[in-house]
Structure 1
Amino acid sequence: MLKKLSILIYFLIFPFGIFAQSNPDLGAWYMYFGNYRFQDSPWAIHGEAQYRNHNIIGDLEQLLLRTGLQYNLENGAASFLAGYGSITTQSPGEINNGFHESRIYQEVILRQKVNRVGIMHRYRYEQRWVENSPIRTRFRYAIFVNFPLNQKELHEAGSWYLQVYDELFINGEKLNDTVKFFDRNRLYAGLGYRFNPNLALQVGLLDQSTDASSKLQLQFSLFQQLYSKK
């Protein structure tokens, strides 16, 4: 298992490493997403940790920790989640000059399948407290499309898949000339491998754009589904 994982990581990361050398401003996000399901219950606990860098290694841009309580429909077509996020943000090249944000969020996820292709719609509403600033709200919509490459089903062990997604962020308030209704957009494409139905690794490239800037981010994601014992 470890040997297989090491080989996979090498062949996934090596092409991105070459790309990164020619793009010194490229950032990187290292992410873990876990979901803890209770046996014979529609309830689950969601948890994630995201370590986002201004560059590939070091120079922290953002540390995001998020958790929540999730309710899943029995047929898997939809889930509902509410939770809390803690986000610490720092400027490039500087230490301990950042700011902290507390965030409460609610989301609805809808899933569908078109032939072999999996499609997921995520609707999220956030209430944000950024230190001494007034409360902010934000609406987010994302569509994820997964294309299986070598298996009929996306969740089969040993399956390779492609994922593309686009996410739009809209602020609930226009606070000033720099905080407008349009916040940002994220466009992503990546390659994933599923070790078993409960564990997958994904590597991709994300373009995050605002009115003022656009930046590419490498993304390394680990997805894990855990279950309680009966």
Structure 2
Amino acid sequence: MKTKFLFLVLSIFTLSTFSQVDENQTGAWYMYFFNHKFSDSQFGIQGDVQYRAWDLMADQEQLLLRSGLTYTPKNANVMFTLGFANITTGEFGDSNATSNENRIYQEALIPQKIGKRFLLTHRFRYEQRFVDDQDFRTRYRYNLFINVPFNNKSLVPKTIYGAFYNELFINGERIIGNNNNTVELFDRNRTYFGVGYVLNPQIRFQVGYMNQTTNAWSKGQLQFSMHHNF
């Protein structure tokens, strides 16, 4: 009886925490992406550093550090990555409490061009997640990126382009431990529209708006990103 009562209290507390997220408050993500291919090699590195805020800056949602080793087979239109990420997640509002996640991931990145201007990239990612106070978890992700140059036919320097992506997240397991708590099969969806500028062959910038929808809330985020090939 006591165990059932404790589980009920924890469930109510969890729902209360989710409900405190202000869906009308726009957040912001600040992101740096890098990609490097080793000279005369099919191998390279890629990754990103992201600071995500529930508001425009002060209320930390997440700090994400991620990097991986890439491999591009000869005569193949695909790049594979094996990587690792560390994510520190903060609670919405005045609380300074955080939780930590370590993550191993594998992905395949497949570029595609449709017509003269539609530059597509398909990303398939599989994650193995080690989250504080939860059982081992996995997650499947698919992201479709579309870039459309406006004043050129490709992303050459001084090009202004439109950017879109949509990413779907599916949980591999529903029971996550911690008193047998469960999650839904659908984890979240992200839809983004933005505009970018190619500064030079190594650097481009993007700014846009992304809406993220989970089972508990839906929230808008401004996104500012730098994309660096070196």
- TM-score (norm: length of structure 1): 0.84
> What is the rounded CA distance, in whole Å, between the counterparts of 1:129 and 1:57 in structure 2?
27
User: 2:25 aligned with 1:25, yes or no?
Assistant: yes
Partner AA of 2:35 in structure 1:
N
> What is the rounded CA distance, in whole Å, between the counterparts of 2:78 and 2:99 in structure 1?
35
How far the C-alpha of 1:200 sits from its partner, in A, is: 0.3
> What is the rounded CA distance, in whole Å, between the counterparts of 1:186 and 1:60 in structure 2?
19
Q: Structure 1: give runs of 5+ residues left out of the alignment.
A: 1-22
Q: Which residue of 1 aligns with 2:221?
A: 217
Are the counterparts in 1 of residues 140 and 170 from structure 2 also a CA contact under 8 Å?
yes
Partner AA of 2:150 in structure 1:
L
Of 188, 196, 200 in structure 1, the residue corresponding to residue 200 of structure 2 is: 196
Q: Which residue of 2 aligns with 1:98?
A: 98
How far the C-alpha of 1:76 sits from its partner, in A, is: 6.9
Are the counterparts in 2 of residues 76 and 111 from structure 1 also a CA contact under 8 Å?
no
Partner AA of 2:163 in structure 1:
Q
User: 2:152 aligned with 1:151, yes or no?
Assistant: yes
Count of matched residue positions in the alignment of Structure 1 and Structure 2: 203
> What is the rounded CA distance, in whole Å, between the counterparts of 1:220 and 1:75 in structure 2?
34
Counting aligned pairs with the same residue, the percent is 48
> What is the rounded CA distance, in whole Å, between the counterparts of 1:197 and 1:77 in structure 2?
20
Which has the larger Rg? Answer: 2
- TM-score (norm: length of structure 2): 0.84
Aligned-residue RMSD, C-alpha: 1.6
Q: Deviations over 1:18-46 (max 9, x none)?
A: xxxxx961000000001122112111111
How far the C-alpha of 1:47 sits from its partner, in A, is: 2.4
1:10-89 alignment, distance < 5 Å: 25-74=25-74, 77-89=77-89
Partner AA of 1:213 in structure 2:
W
How far the C-alpha of 1:67 sits from its partner, in A, is: 0.6
Q: SS in structure 2 opposite 1:196?
A: coil
Are the counterparts in 2 of residues 83 and 104 from structure 1 also a CA contact under 8 Å?
yes
Q: SS in structure 2 opposite 1:197?
A: coil
User: 2:210 aligned with 1:186, yes or no?
Assistant: no
Query: Relative to structure 1, is the Cα distance of residues 75 and 95 closer, same or farther in structure 2, using a 3 angstrom cutoff?
Result: farther
Partner AA of 2:108 in structure 1:
V
Q: Deviations over 1:150-209 (max 9, x none)?
A: 01112x100010011100000001116751110000000010000012100000100000
Q: Structure 2: give runs of 5+ residues left out of the alignment.
A: 1-22
Are the counterparts in 2 of residues 82 and 107 from structure 1 also a CA contact under 8 Å?
yes
Partner AA of 1:126 in structure 2:
E
Partner AA of 2:92 in structure 1:
P
Q: Which residue of 2 aligns with 1:5?
A: none
